């Protein structure tokens, strides 16, 4: 397809260990209202929020601040779709799980 987003999601859906039908279902689902700050603040478990500095979702500081026990890790040179294969991401997850 000519649409860059469609090409990216098509590629991701067909990569190993991904389910293209599940991805298509997520993309077709009805749009939902975002969670409120009160709903996010009610989450009490520790969490790691990892985002690349090249991610189109940047910045994640407000998201991390909305949770009581969130740790934010910004990955240098990483975009949204390459976070899972980033060695810095893997190290951050291992550090988080070991703490």
pLDDT of residue 2: 67
**pTM, to two decimals:** 0.73
Domain total of the chain: 2
85 shares a domain with 67:
yes
Whether residue 6 is found in the same domain as residue 24 = yes
24 lies in the same domain as 4? yes
Both 38 and 83 in one domain: the answer is yes
CB neighbour list of residue 83: distance below 8 Å, 6 or more residues apart: 50, 51, 52, 55, 75, 89
Encode pLDDT of 37-75 as tens digits: 999 999 999 999 999 999 988 789 999 999 999 999 999
Could you tell me which residues are beta bridge partners of residue 71?
48
Structural domain span for residue 10 = 1-32
> Does 89 lie in the same domain as 78?
yes
Residues 39 and 87 in one domain: yes
What's residue 51's pLDDT?
95
Q: How far is CA 2 from CA 41, 43, 98, in A?
A: 41, 40, 44
Tell me: do 91 and 63 sit in the same domain: yes
Query: Based on the domain organization, do 21 and 62 belong to the same domain?
Result: no
């Amino acid at each position: 397809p000519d649409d860059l987003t469609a090409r990216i999601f098509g590629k991701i859906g067909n990569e190993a260990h991904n389910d293209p039908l599940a991805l298509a279902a997520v993309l077709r689902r009805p749009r939902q209202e975002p969670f409120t700050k009160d709903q996010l603040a009610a989450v009490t478990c520790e969490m790691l929020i990892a985002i690349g500095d090249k991610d189109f979702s940047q910045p994640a500081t407000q998201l991390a601040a909305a949770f009581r026990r969130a740790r934010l890790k910004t990955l240098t040179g990483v975009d949204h779709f390459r976070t899972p294969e980033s060695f810095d991401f893997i190290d951050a997850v291992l550090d988080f799980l070991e703490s």
